[in-house]
């Protein structure tokens, strides 16, 4: 039985084995139960996490700060205006210097290569808090939520409806690893990249699961156990917002679409939501929605990640 992560860093779900993902989920759940029972559990006493944010955040920042505090540690928030990284100091030098001060580094940025460069030069664990390519912490907390609601992961069908973005990429890596079927419905020009889909299908071959890429949201959600959506326009794409609204309007998760899924389907959104665009109010606030449980689980999953990576 696996009892520790064999990775120094958390950069992408693609880097994790099924057993490592299960370990993160189990540790997250264990810590959640301890804290719900008001049981003191502070494995990171005296440890500090540096948090570099090139992109603004609500859930990632708050959940990691609170997670470090409740695990006995501390965190320090670093914006581009507060460190020399934005004024000429190299990523490599920044990683080496921070490694002398802190026990871990969280980065939320645009370029995935920047996170890889940090990890290559840091001597402490590096956690990807989001890049344009990948959002592993989000999908780990999503898996925790689905496990809470459905009790099992194996054999479930996830329908992802919308932009083939970083969250979609992480689902393409996670679903087949966890023996789940994944259907992605996106407009052709906004579908996930060929390289990501090919890697996902290679994982699916091993787990004997299905990965389907389609332009039809109806095909994706038919008899699905989970419907998942995200904003149509991510940070850094604001100039495309109006164009995307027109292209994506048939990909809205509304009551008609939800009706095609299983009767006990759960609806998920990683937030922030643009209500009335990718999801309607009646669905987001309706009986199938687990959106706010999903948001809470960012805190619990982050605790599992931190406890495993920083407590070495």
Active centre residues (catalytic)? 108, 135, 138, 230, 270, 298
Tokens (6 digits) for 284: 């987001």
C-alpha pair distances (Å), 77 with each of 27, 134, 209, 240, 299 = 25, 21, 41, 30, 17
Q: Read off the tokens for 234.
A: 């991510």
Instruction: Specify whether the CB–CB gap between 253 and 228 falls below 8 A.
Output: no
Q: Which long-range contacts (CB under 8 A, 24 or more apart) does 109-117 make?
A: 109/52, 109/53, 109/54, 109/55, 110/54, 110/55, 110/236, 112/11, 112/12, 115/11, 116/11, 117/91, 117/92
Answer positive or negative: Cα dihedral of 138, 181, 164, 251. negative
What radius of gyration, in Å, describes the C-alpha atoms of the chain? 19
Q: What single string gives the DSSP state of each residue in 51-102?
A: EEESS--SHHHHHHHHHHHHTT-EEEEE-TTTSGGGGT--HHHHHHHHHHH-
What is the total residue count of the chain? 312
- Spatial neighbors of 236 by CB under 8 A, at least 6 apart, are 55, 110, 132
- Residue owning tokens 């969250």: 167
What is each CA distance from 162 to 93, 214, 244, 262, in whole angstroms?
A: 38, 11, 10, 19
């Amino acid at each position: 039985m696996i009892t520790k992560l064999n990775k120094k860093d958390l950069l992408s779900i693609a880097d994790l084995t099924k057993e490592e993902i299960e370990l993160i989920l189990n540790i997250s759940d264990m810590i959640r139960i301890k804290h719900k029972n008001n049981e003191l559990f502070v494995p990171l006493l005296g440890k500090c996490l540096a948090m570099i944010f090139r992109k603004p955040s609500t859930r990632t920042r708050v959940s990691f700060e609170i997670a470090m505090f409740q695990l006995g540690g501390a965190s320090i928030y670093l914006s581009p205006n507060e460190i020399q990284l934005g004024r000429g100091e190299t990523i490599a030098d920044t990683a080496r210097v921070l490694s002398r001060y802190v026990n871990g580094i969280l980065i939320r940025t645009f370029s995935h290569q920047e996170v890889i460069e940090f990890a290559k030069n840091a001597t402490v664990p590096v956690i990807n808090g989001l890049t344009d390519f990948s959002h592993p912490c989000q999908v780990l907390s999503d898996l925790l939520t689905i496990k809470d609601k459905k009790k099992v992961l194996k054999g479930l069908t996830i329908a992802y409806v919308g932009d083939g973005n970083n969250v979609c990429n992480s689902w393409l890596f996670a679903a087949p690893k966890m023996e789940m079927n994944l259907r992605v419905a996106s407009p052709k020009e906004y579908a996930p990249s060929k390289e990501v889909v090919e890697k996902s299908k290679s994982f699916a071959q091993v787990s004997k699961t299905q990965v389907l890429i389609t332009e039809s949201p109806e095909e994706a959600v038919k008899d699905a156990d989970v419907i998942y959506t995200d904003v149509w326009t991510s940070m850094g794409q604001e100039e495309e917002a109006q164009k995307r609204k027109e292209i994506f309007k048939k990909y809205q998760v509304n009551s008609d679409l939800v009706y095609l899924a299983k009767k006990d389907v759960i609806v998920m959104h990683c937030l922030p939501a643009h209500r009335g665009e990718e999801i309607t109010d009646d669905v987001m606030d309706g009986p199938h929605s687990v959106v706010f449980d999903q948001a809470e689980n960012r805190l619990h999953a982050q605790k599992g990640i931190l406890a495993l990576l920083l407590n070495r």
